[in-house]
Structure 1
Amino acid sequence: MALARMTRLPASAALPYALRRDNEGAAAREAALAAFLASRTRTTVGRVLEKATRVATHKRPATALKGVAATDWFRLDTKDDVTVKWYPQGLSCGSDAGLASPAAFAISWYWRPAPSVEPQRGIRVSFLNVATLRYAHVLLVEPDAAGEPVPINVHAGGLVWYKNLLYVPDTTGGLRVFDLRNLCVGGPFDYPYTLPQSDVWSCDRALGARFSFASLDRGADPVLLVSGEYLTSGTGRVVRWALDADGSLAADETGTAVPVDAYTGPGSKIQGAASYKGRWYFSQSGLAGANDRLLTTAPGEAVRERMYPKGPEDLTVWRGKSTVWTIAEKPGGRVILGVPL
């Protein structure tokens, strides 16, 4: 695949990505959330990490990575590694959230059941305790008017964990927000934990913006939220938003959040992007052979290529280790791995 230099776009190119908070529906949304929480027991991410029972593996044999120069890598348990019902997509880490201990990852998944055989389960997030290698699944839901949990049928192609909030991309709709202070014990389909949607930021679908993945730029001051487009051909865009002190999108008096900048990406089939201290990192899929690739560049510079596992998805930067991480989605090869920045 041909690669192109990143170019900063004019401000008008970011306008399709403008997001508006649904203030008119806020009262109904808050009432539904309150009804959902009324009969449930809340918990915390810390307790989830302490009590997690699924077990990941640390540092699989290097041959499993097919030559990728990883500093660390993990693999989920066998059931999650090979299932064709759930596919991992988004990746964020405790470093993004400002969580000092324990070191942790959060992984988003989307449900792909056999047609007309199993009910829709929507999306989930797994929290992995790096120290203990234990992890647990949390089902994400949208409360209906009666406070009942409804699965959210989106692709969840990215994930940002910042302070108390999780941001999940809705490919053609914008960003969905989940407040971790509303994390509850128990849930549908025998899930041990449930997290209800607390907010939504919507784009104008007619303008054709795509929210395929997301990450956090902790190298910027103030911190920026990043999102971008996956396109099967042509070059997608990446854009960045300012965040308020509480982690929410910075918006004007009309409730509209406009990106602070926008760039062209390096090529097609970009699955994830992260920016850190002026440099950009992109995961690219769809190459022939045993490996895909990690691309590194800065606006105006030539793009450098590095070997990556097949099916790389979202990216996140672990600042304390100076590494960039991805998760591979292919069943039987679901490695979470970090390489040096």
Structure 2
Amino acid sequence: MALARVARLPASAALPYALRRDTTGAAAREQALAAFRGAHRTTTVAKVLATASRVATRKRPVAALNGVAASDWFCFDAKDDATEKWYPQGLSCGSDAGLSSPSAFAVSWYWKPDPTAEPERGIRVSFLNVATLRYAHVLLVEPDADGNPTPINVHAGGLVWYKNLLYVPDTTGGLRIFDLRDLSEGGLFGYSFMLPQSDMWRCDPALGARFSFASLDRSADPVLLVSGEYLTSGTGRVVRWALAADGTLAADADGTAVPVDAYNSPGQKIQGAVSYKGRWYFSQSGGTGANDRLLTALPGQAVQERKYPKGPEDLTVWRGKNTVWTVAEKPRGRVIFGVPL
């Protein structure tokens, strides 16, 4: 399929992506969250990064890159690289969060076991300390009525780490919010750390919006949160919302967060997208042979194609290094890698 030029869409194209904070049962959810907080000792991302026990490798020769001119890359340990129970999807970095030291990445994974053999474990986020190459998994959970942690069964196809918040897309529901000030020492399924869901912004499911991935545009003022849809045919949409100073979605007087704009993506099977200084970047799966594609374009101009490893997912920009990064999801080819903007 030929690539389409990226163009701004009419305002009506963004309306299905209007979000409202989920207030249904809010008092009960807050009570459950309070019970969770009371039962678990809190910690910080800094402590997780300082005490992480898993070890990544940097710039190790990796066949999965298959000739891609990466500026830098990081490989998970052998167990996480090979597992077919967890698949990495979303990617954000300390540059998004405003973290000055240490440099870090955050990666979301979804659980994909044999459902008849093992219980659902939901989603997790790995925090990687770039300086030490140590990383740790944090299980994302939703407290039940008694404050007990329960798994969250969504795809977690994207991740945004901004200030104290993590945004995780829920494909047909909207955006789930996790406040890192609730990061806790854990115990569910043997995890050392857990992070409870604290909020959610919901879309109108009847309007057909899909939240397949997410990223952050920190070159914009105000900062913009980006999301878009994965489609197996045709071109989907990418939309952007303004963020308030505290990192939450900027909403109008009615409590609705309406996207500031919407664009068409350049083709089908878009796995991630990010905008930066007016240019769009898209990861696209379904390429021929051993490679997929990174697509870049200024609105209205011809799309440029770059070779990418198989299985690219969400995108993030590391501003200080002027690089755009993704994570490859395929077992035995899992790598976080960056290429020049």
Q: Does 1:134 find its partner at 2:134? A: yes
Tell me, yes or no, if structure 1 residue 295 matches structure 2 residue 295. yes
Give the corresponding residue for 1:327: 327
Ranges of 4+ aligned residues in structure 1 off by more than 2 Å: 23-26
Scaled by the length of structure 2, the TM-score of the pair is 0.99
CA RMSD, aligned part only?
A: 0.8
Is the aligned partner of 1:79 residue 2:85? no
1:176 and 2:179 correspond: no
* More divergent stretch after superposition (18-27 vs 318-327): 18-27
Paired AA for residue 284 in structure 2: Q
For 1:69, the equivalent position in structure 2 comes to: 69
Specify the alignment match of 1:284 in structure 2: 284
Partner of 2:244: 244
Helix, strand or coil at the partner of 1:138: strand
- Is residue 228 from structure 1 mapped to residue 255 from structure 2 by the alignment? no
Within-5 A mapping of 1:136-151 = 136-151=136-151
Name structure 2 gaps, 5 residues minimum. Answer: none
Could you state the TM-score of these two structures normalised by the residue count of structure 1? 0.99
Where do residues 93-172 of structure 1 align in structure 2 (5 Å cutoff)? 93-172=93-172
Does 2:28 align with 1:43?
Answer: no
Structure 1 counterpart of 2:293, one-letter code: R
Residue 64 of structure 1 and its aligned partner are, at CA, apart by 4.4
Q: Where does residue 10 of structure 1 map in the other structure?
A: 10
Whether the 8 Å contact between 1:89 and 1:157 is mirrored in structure 2 is: yes
| Conserved? CA contact 1:6–1:265, under 8 Å | yes
* Secondary structure of residue in 2 paired with 1:29: helix
Aligned residues of 1:23 and 1:255 also touching (Cα < 8 A): no
Identity across the alignment (%): 80
Contact 1:139 1:187 in 2 (8 A): no
Structure 1 residue 79, shift from structure 2 partner: 0.3
2:338 is matched with which residue?
Answer: 338
Deviation of the 1:39 alpha carbon: 1.4
1:21 and 2:17 are equivalent in the alignment: no
Query: CA offsets, 1:124-160, max 9 Å, x none?
Result: 0000000000000000001111101110000000000
Tell me the distance in 1 between the aligned counterparts of 2:291 and 2:64.
12
What is the CA distance between 1:62 and its match in structure 2?
A: 5.9
Q: Secondary structure at the residue paired with 1:110?
A: strand
Structure 1 residues without counterparts, runs of 5 or longer = none
Correspondence for 1:204: 204
- How far off its partner does 1:26 sit? 2.2
Task: Specify the SS of the correspondent of 1:34.
Answer: helix
Q: 8 Å contact 2:63–2:333 — kept in the other structure? A: no
Q: How many residues align?
A: 341
**Is 1:212–1:228's contact at 8 Å kept on the other side of the alignment?**
yes
How far off its partner does 1:101 sit?
0.2
Once the two structures are TM-superposed, the CA of residue 115 in structure 1 deviates from its matched residue by 2.4
